[in-house]
């Protein structure tokens, strides 16, 4: 049995913070086992939150400087996190997505892998999306390869983060795609109320549906288009944000409407009866109002695993993608011309940070 230790790093579109998960993987035959040994989320200090939130507005020189600085920042956090812990074989970093328009052949995840490797002193794998996009794919979602190998006993894997995405097998192939925005809408609206996020969905539950807004959101052609498909900030700004005018509508009502929009879109992608099990992870898994609405609209059984998996499944899978010395990006998911082994490697020969 081969055993690997890898540190997965994930920064989601909702800017909740930097997720770090130290993971152990064991491989015997075709079977993989996994464990999260240690994990944490480091909330972004206000300056970093603002810089990442506004990164897409920077000029080219400032953008590249921030790319390097954020790589060093992640490397510093890795160094602190791993103090008195097992030194992993590698670090696998998703980075923070700034641009994602695969129709133009463009995706960019901030956080320079070379700077990260130099700072923490550990071989680093990063930039997992670019090769797939260059091959004509969406470059997203990336977790389905891990879903297939680590969580294949579930009928659906549903992640509720900045965007909701789903992964499942159909016709003996793994299919996955983005469904709709979730926390990328709920969190900014909550901040209008002075809340970092809508805990348990309480603020949203207190509102009422704005029917004209709900109808406009649900009418977007993206929801009727077949996979492969993915969404990013650019799509959000063009197709969704114009309808969420806080000058016209009360924020609790907008929240309530977004909840019904998201829950309806998510439930429409969950088919079958109570025997169909849905693994639910991501920050939205803690949102009681959102889960109540999803349950009202589907007969499938929602399964919430232990907290470590809810919070760090994506970081775990990026660690796994870094470990895989084989196909880790599936054309059946992304629509690329072929499967690929994706990611750039910055090899580091130092055994300790100098």
Domain-by-domain residue ranges, the chain? 2-139+313-346, 144-309
pLDDT over threshold 60, residue 354: no
Tokens of 207: 């509102």
Average pLDDT over residues 290-298: 98
Tokens of 130: 């670019």
Closest among 303, 313, 304 to 275, alpha carbons compared: 303
C-alpha span between 319 and 20 (Å, rounded):
10
Query: pLDDT by residue (tens digit) across 115-166?
Result: 999 999 999 999 999 999 999 999 988 899 999 999 999 999 999 999 999 9
Tell me: domain 144-309, CATH 3.30.420.40, correct? yes
CATH of domain 2-139+313-346: 3.30.420.40
Position 218 scores a pLDDT of 98
189-211 core/surface letters (b: 16 or more CB in 10 A; e: else): bbeeeeeebbeebebbbebeebe
C-alpha span between 50 and 45 (Å, rounded):
9
Tokens of 73: 């920042």
CA gyration radius for the chain? 20
Q: pLDDT-based confidence at 15, cuts 50/70/90? A: confident
Position 352 scores a pLDDT of 44
Q: Is the dihedral of CA 327, 330, 332, 335 positive or negative?
A: negative
Q: Is the pTM of this model over 0.85?
A: yes
Domains 2-139+313-346 and 144-309 agree in fold: yes
CB-facing half-sphere around the CA of 174: CA atoms within 13 A: 25
Average pLDDT over residues 204-231: 97
Query: pLDDT by residue (tens digit) across 227-263?
Result: 999 999 999 999 999 999 999 999 999 999 999 999 9
- Close Cβ partners of 52 (under 8 Å, ≥ 6 residues apart): 11, 15, 44, 70, 96, 98, 110
């Amino acid at each position: 049995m081969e055993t690997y230790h890898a540190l997965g790093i994930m920064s989601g579109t909702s800017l909740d913070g930097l997720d770090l998960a130290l993971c152990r993987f064991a491989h015997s035959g075709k079977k993989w086992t996994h464990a999260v040994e240690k994990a944490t989320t480091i909330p972004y200090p206000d300056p970093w939150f603002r810089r990442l939130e506004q990164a897409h507005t920077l000029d080219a020189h400032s953008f590249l400087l921030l790319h390097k600085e954020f790589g060093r920042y992640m490397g510093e956090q890795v160094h602190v996190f791993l103090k008195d812990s097992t030194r992993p074989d590698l670090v696998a970093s998703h980075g923070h997505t700034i641009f994602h328009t695969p129709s133009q052949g463009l995706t960019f995840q901030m956080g320079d892998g070379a700077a990260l490797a130099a700072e923490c002193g550990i071989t680093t794998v990063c930039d997992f999306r670019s090769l797939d996009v260059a091959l004509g794919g969406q470059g997203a979602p990336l977790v389905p390869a891990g879903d297939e190998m680590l969580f294949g006993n579930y009928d659906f894997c549903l992640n509720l983060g900045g965007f909701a995405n789903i992964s499942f097998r159909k016709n003996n192939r793994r299919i996955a795609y983005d469904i709709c925005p979730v926390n990328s809408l709920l969190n900014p609206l909550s901040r209008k109320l002075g809340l970092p996020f809508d805990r348990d969905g309480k603020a949203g539950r207190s509102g009422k549906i704005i029917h004209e807004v709900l109808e406009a959101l649900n009418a977007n052609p993206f929801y009727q288009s077949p996979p492969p498909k993915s969404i990013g900030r650019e799509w959000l700004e063009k197709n969704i944000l114009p309808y969420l005018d806080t000058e016209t509508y009360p924020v609790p009502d907008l929240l309530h409407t977004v909840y019904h929009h998201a829950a309806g879109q998510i439930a429409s992608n969950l088919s079958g009866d109570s025997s169909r099990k849905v693994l639910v992870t991501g920050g939205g898994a803690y949102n009681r109002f959102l889960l109540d609405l999803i349950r009202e609209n589907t007969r499938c059984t929602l399964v919430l695993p232990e907290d470590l998996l809810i919070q760090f499944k994506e970081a775990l899978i990026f660690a796994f993608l870094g470990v895989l010395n084989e196909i880790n990006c599936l054309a059946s998911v992304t629509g690329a011309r072929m499967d690929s082994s994706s990611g750039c490697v910055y090899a580091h020969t130092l055994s300790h940070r100098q």
